[in-house]
Amino acid sequence: MLNEIHKQLDALYPEMVEIRRFLHQYPELSFHETKTAQYIADFYEKLGIPYQTNVGGNGVIATLKGGKPGKTVALRADFDALPIQDEKDVPYKSKVDGVMHACGHDGHTATLLMLAKTMMSFQEDLPGTIVFLHQHAEEYAPGGAKPIIESGAIDHVDAVFGTHLWATTPFGVLQTTKDVFMAGTDRFTITIHGQGGHGAYPHETKDAIVIGSQLITQLQQIVSRRLDPLETAVLTIGVFEAGTTFNVIADKAKIVGTVRFLNTAVQEQVIEEMEKVIKGVCVSSDASYSFDYVKGYPPLVNHAEEAELVLKAGEKIEEIHTAEEVLPVMGGEDFAYYTMKKPGAYFFTGAQKEGNEFPHHHPKFDIEERALPVAAKTLIQAYFDYQK
């Protein structure tokens, strides 16, 4: 039956590309994906597959019950976009100013929709139940996975699998791990309150720019000098805002950044060290401050048995020539919440496009569309193998 499923997915490839390119032209930001959610719901309405809308927010879940007994497995695809201006010169360029599918979620959605359409033809012979889990708001914490889980929508599910079309991995390569796969992702905002004044009289001020500069330098020493070298963490400053003009000393500075980690003990240590450094620098400069630290997604930890199943599934897909275990990546994913709740695994499907090798979240990001049916084949192979 799987050979026939693969043939049908290949036959549906043009429609898969058409859906992906349509969604690419009409992206919606996290928590605002109402039209995309409606598009997904309309698709299942036409297929005649039962579905729920507004799951945990804008989530859409469709359920295909097979004609034979078996386990219930959720296959997840996200569908939100990013606040990025699309700079690609392609016919399917985003038509929404300042919003772009710069991470491949349009491809994830097209993959799962076409897999659902395909599996309708095999429903009578299907063991178990497929839950097509279309998730909103992956890109921005608190994300869509957590409220979907809290809604009870996957309480009955035995396992969850998901894939990311990965634009920096060559086509034909599948990657995963049997443990921690992706990092925990937090964000923070530090506001320094100094005392402004005339640029000619610095001794009468508390220069927020100088204080902020010292702080940024010392924050970088947390990872390099305060953590065990065998542990992994990233502390990145993405925003440093201060000042209004060339001859005025700033009274306030804003620093915004992210912390990435692979285990929560390191997360707590980084937070503790940050508090010490911020307090030390500001007190020594006679300045006050505020420190707002927001915990985001936890690390994504695959279950070993399910990850091994994915690797074996990849070996059975004709287009995949390499199914490999890799080191964790420091990007984050709220799929982490699913594997905290249920057995499951997440994997990368190589989708590097020749001549367009820009990374995720880049204004010229694009994917190799031939990877879409490969992702679908791997997901359904994992589904069938899990039934055994």
Which listed residue (28, 33, 78, 80) is catalytic? Answer: 80
Place of tokens 């996957």: 154
Q: Which residues contact 15 (CB under 8 A, 6 or more apart)?
A: 114
315 marked as part of a ligand binding site:
no
- Catalytic: 86? no
Which listed residue (33, 86, 138, 333) is catalytic? Answer: 138
E strands, the chain, are 51-55, 59-65, 68-78, 127-135, 159-166, 173-176, 180-182, 184-193, 197-198, 233-242, 248-249, 252-261, 288-297, 300-301, 322-325, 344-350
- Catalytic: 138? yes
Q: Which residue type is seen at 301?
A: V
CB 125 within 8 A of CB 310: no
Helix/strand/coil percent split, the chain, to 5: 35, 30, 35
CB 126 within 8 A of CB 69: no
Phi, psi of 297 (to 5 degrees): -75, 140
193 marked as part of a ligand binding site:
no
164 marked as part of a ligand binding site:
yes
303 marked as part of a ligand binding site:
no
The number of beta carbons lying within 10 Å of the beta carbon of residue 42 is 11
Give the DSSP letter of residue 190: E
Phi, psi of 21 (to 5 degrees): -70, -35
101 marked as part of a ligand binding site:
no
Q: Which residues contact 96 (CB under 8 A, 6 or more apart)?
A: 25, 26, 27, 28
* CB hemisphere CA count around 86 (13 angstroms): 24
Q: Six-digit token pair at 83?
A: 């606040």
Q: Which residues contact 3 (CB under 8 A, 6 or more apart)?
A: none
Of 382, 358, 337, the C-alpha closest to 104 is: 358
Burial string for 6-18 (b: 16+ CB within 10 Å, else e) reads bebbeebeeebbe
Q: Which residue type is seen at 218?
A: Q
What residue numbers does the annotated binding site for Mn(2+) cover?
103, 105, 139, 164, 361
Supply the residues annotated as catalytic.
80, 138
Residue numbering of the annotated binding site:
103, 105, 139, 164, 361
